[in-house]
Amino acid sequence: MHFFSPVPVMNLLEIVRSLTTSDETIEQMKAVGERLGKTIIVANDYPGFTVNRVLVPMLNEAIYLVMEGNTPEEIDQGMM
């Protein structure tokens, strides 16, 4: 179970399924997440899972934009 920080504020819960994780285990983890009021996604066990696999390249590009002369504020505005 991959919670996002800060846990009380972030609604997303990423449940990671390995090659040996049973369907029953996934369902039990989903039930826990639902009791906590989380939005649940199930990801396979690969580097970065789902969210960080998409997020990290996006953060890298934002850093490159700053290095090329954009301000963080401009980048933030563009992402709204």
Active centre residues (catalytic): 14
In the chain, what's the furthest Cα-to-Cα distance? Answer: 51
Any idea what DSSP says for residue 44?
E
Query: Measured between alpha carbons, how far is 19 from 29 in angstroms, rounded to an integer?
Result: 16
DSSP conformation class of 54 = H
